[in-house]
Structure 1
């Protein structure tokens, strides 16, 4: 379980980007975080894995206080948090297998990584996961030869190779066409069930959030102002989350952000 209490993130002397935020996410649950640009969605995800340092507050993952970890402990702790990025973050000149194996860098020696001598068990696991998402036949292809949807599948498998206890996805469908976006969201939802893995998705597309999530968290100005089932996301709730943002702009955000 992820438990966040009184989380604050401030840059410089300005207003906090996150304001005294509380959130709990149990296992197997897909939680979509929605809100207009600048609401604090990406900052929230980056605070969880401490790509951004929280100003104050606590972040617990299965009982471990991630905000108290030192540098060495944090390097080990980050193996427990998988991250899927909007821009895929693949190394184009490397093969799919090599990109997937980068998810194991926290577990193998530097020599093994540089020489690409991956443990047999890691190779077997990689093929299993790639087969699960339909990209095993691309194992030896360079990443820059793949489509956007295929590249994002590689990103998902790379994160799962960490054997994470939670999966964070920062706008994972923003660079994809509508059909491929639905496929990726379906994949994330199904993997959460199969692996008993909590998944938090920062997403602009409200329709996708409602269709593929167990729960929706709505943010505005660094605060959570909605936290409920997708069916509870009424027009009034949408207005509160997106007050001042025209409806058509919300849909454009979902297609392009």
Structure 2
């Protein structure tokens, strides 16, 4: 369970980017965050994993108050927060296996990581997860030889190798074609169920949010102004969330093909 209470983020003396947010994300649920550029979606995710320091408020993960942690305790807590990035954040010259094993860096002595001496159990687990997402046959291939969808699957496995208690995904499908985007969203949904893992996704494509997530949170100017099941996201709610944003920029495309019946 992720619990956020009265979260505020301000840069310098400027107006707050996040303005007293309250949000809960229970286990094995997929929650999407939507909103126009500048709404504060990415800042929210970065506050959760402490890549950005909140100005005030609290963030709790399974009873542990992340906003109270510093130093070694904060580094230990970050191991339990998996992050999936829009730009994949892979090391292109390394193999898929080496990129996946970087998810274990917080657990290994420095010398092991530097020499790439991965424990047998970590290698076994990596193969299991890569098999699950369909990339085990690429284990020894360089990351820069993969397609966008394959690279994002490497990013998903890397995050799972951390043994996370939550997955955060920042625009995970923005760099992908529509079909691959659907497959990645379905994969995240399936993994949430399999591992009883909460997933919080910052997403631009509203159609995908409605199709593949259990709940939609709408943000505008640093506040949450909508929080309900996808079916409740009607035209009035969209107009409030995206006031002044042209329809073609709202991510409301209807070309999402249901993939629930197939394994991602």
TM-score tier after normalising by the smaller chain length: over 0.9
Give distance in 2, aligned partners of 1:78 and 1:99: 18
Give distance in 2, aligned partners of 1:241 and 1:253: 16
Match of 2:130 in 1: 130
Match of 1:45 in 2: 45
Give distance in 1, aligned partners of 2:14 and 2:107: 39
Mapping 1:1-257, distance limit 5 Å: 1-251=1-251
Q: CA separation of 1:117/1:253 partners in 2, compared to 1, >3 Å: closer, same or farther?
A: farther
- C-alpha contact (below 8 Å) 1:35/1:242 kept by paired residues: yes
Give distance in 2, aligned partners of 1:151 and 1:68: 34
Give distance in 2, aligned partners of 1:163 and 1:203: 23
TM-score by length of 1: 0.98
Q: CA separation of 1:8/1:24 partners in 2, compared to 1, >3 Å: closer, same or farther?
A: same
Cα offsets for 1:168-222 (capped at 9, x unmatched) = 0000000000000000000000000000000000001000000000000000000
Q: Give the CA deviation at 1:72.
A: 1.4
Q: Give the CA deviation at 1:250.
A: 1.3
Say which SS state the counterpart of residue 39 (structure 2) adopts: coil
Say which SS state the counterpart of residue 132 (structure 2) adopts: helix
Say which SS state the counterpart of residue 250 (structure 2) adopts: helix
Q: CA separation of 1:253/1:108 partners in 2, compared to 1, >3 Å: closer, same or farther?
A: farther
Cα offsets for 1:8-37 (capped at 9, x unmatched) = 000011110000000000000000000000
TM-score by length of 2: 0.95
Cα offsets for 1:131-174 (capped at 9, x unmatched) = 00000000000000000000000000000000000000000000
Q: Give the CA deviation at 1:71.
A: 1.5
Cα offsets for 1:31-67 (capped at 9, x unmatched) = 0000000000000000000000000000000000000
- C-alpha contact (below 8 Å) 1:21/1:223 kept by paired residues: yes
Give distance in 2, aligned partners of 1:239 and 1:192: 30
- C-alpha contact (below 8 Å) 1:8/1:17 kept by paired residues: yes
- C-alpha contact (below 8 Å) 2:207/2:253 kept by paired residues: no
Say which SS state the counterpart of residue 46 (structure 2) adopts: helix
When the two structures are aligned, how many residues end up with a matched partner?
A: 255
Say which SS state the counterpart of residue 84 (structure 1) adopts: strand
Q: Give the CA deviation at 1:253.
A: 10
Give unpaired runs (5+ residues) of structure 2: 256-264
Match of 2:258 in 1: none
